[in-house]
Structure 1
Amino acid sequence: MSKIGIFYGPELGSVEKVARVIESKFGAGKVELVAVKNANEAALQQFDKLIFGMSTIGKTNWDSEHKDTDWDVFVTHFDKVNWGGKKVAMYGLGDHVQYPQHFVDALGWMYERLENTAAELVGFCSTDGYTYEESEGIKDGQFLGLPVDEDNESDKTDVRVENWINRLINEFGY
């Protein structure tokens, strides 16, 4: 059974915290955490099962003055990756109170970068139980990954992650 690569960014915040929760739910030795800040296409090639974790940062994403994020740099490596046989799931952090019109938009942005690759995208979630106004992270009535709001609903994170992992185990064929 091959390890799952959890690629996350940014480091040292809620995205990394959720990566560690996912790691603990899968169990020791079954996943490898990789900060996208330090990763390239060779790191992606090591795994057939991938989880991408990112945040929808807010104003900086809609401000042309913002600096590139770790993900902006990392996605430039995607065209060098052989996506055939890879399964990719995503989780996204958002703030449904402060940014209800852009809740977990990053899931949609990442989906757009992956949808025309040979990767199989898995791990979609129902919108039930979430409060928001709009999201680019939704397609065909489902979130394109696991939405997490650590700012306002951190008490729901463990259960949401656990339920998601239980589905991913089947979707990953793990």
Structure 2
Amino acid sequence: MKKTALLYWGKGGNVENAAKIIYRQLDPQTTDFMPLDEFNPEDLDQYSLVILGGSTVGAENWEDTSNDNLWNNFFRNIQHKDLSHITFAAFGLGDQVLYPAHFVDGLGFFHEEISKTNARVIGRWPTEGYRFTDSEGVEGDYFYGLALDEDNEPEKTEERAKKWVAQLKKEMEE
């Protein structure tokens, strides 16, 4: 039976906490939960759904191809693979108050990189109810994945995660 992988980076902060909240909505018998530095991209074929999670960072960090940028390493390892048999979804963290012009920009990076692999992408999330001015993680009225603001709206994370995971389960059946 195919499984779900929930991969997140960085460790020990809001991203990991949000990943744990999302993980609690999934079946632990069929879900592997791990930080990105413990995942081998060669294992992708074991999964039917891969959920990625990260925080918004400046564009200069995403473009930095140094060996210590784990997301860049991950996407370099999969960029030439045909992953049309795998479905991806993403969640991103940002700060609508301090960085309203870059809220969850990381979702845009995830979407751009995943799209290069021919993988199916699910989990778009409505922008309604958020207070930001711009985002690379938005197309139309939807984020490319679940947008979370643990700095200003931590009380909304649990409910958003529940609704989003229910949405993912439904979309996986389509």
TM-score for both structures, normalised by structure 1: 0.89
- Cα distance in 2 for partners of 1:62, 1:87 equals 23
- Cα distance in 2 for partners of 1:167, 1:39 equals 25
- Cα distance in 2 for partners of 1:68, 1:140 equals 33
Moved more, 33-42 or 18-27: 33-42
The residue that corresponds to 2:120 in the other structure is 120
- Cα distance in 2 for partners of 1:14, 1:70 equals 17
The alignment partner of 1:48 has SS state of strand
1:88 CA displacement: 0.5
Unaligned runs of 5+ in 1: none
Deviations 1:12-68 (Å, cap 9, x if unpaired)? 11111111111111133231112212323213222111101011135864897x984
The residue that corresponds to 2:23 in the other structure is 23
**Which structure 2 residues correspond to residues 2-151 of structure 1 after superposition, within 5 A?**
2-58=2-58, 61=61, 68-151=68-151
Contact between 2:128 and 2:141, CA under 8 Å: does it hold in 1? no
Moved more, 87-96 or 112-121: 112-121
Residue 167 in structure 1 maps to residue 170 in structure 2: no
Residue 158 in structure 1 maps to residue 158 in structure 2: yes
Regions of 4+ moved over 6 Å = none
Contact between 1:37 and 1:74, CA under 8 Å: does it hold in 2? no
Deviations 1:105-135 (Å, cap 9, x if unpaired)? 0000111111232211000011001110100
Count of residue pairs brought into register by the alignment: 173
| RMSD across aligned positions (CA) | 2.3
- Residue type of the alignment partner of 2:28: A
Contact between 1:10 and 1:70, CA under 8 Å: does it hold in 2? no
Percent of residue pairs bearing the same amino acid type: 34
Moved more, 12-21 or 156-165: 12-21
- Cα distance in 1 for partners of 2:59, 2:78 equals 26
- Cα distance in 2 for partners of 1:158, 1:56 equals 20
- Cα distance in 2 for partners of 1:168, 1:59 equals 28
- Cα distance in 1 for partners of 2:63, 2:71 equals 16
- Residue type of the alignment partner of 2:123: G
TM-score for both structures, normalised by structure 2: 0.89
- Cα distance in 1 for partners of 2:84, 2:59 equals 35
Alpha-carbon spacing, 1:121–1:147, altered in 2? closer, same or farther (3 Å) = same
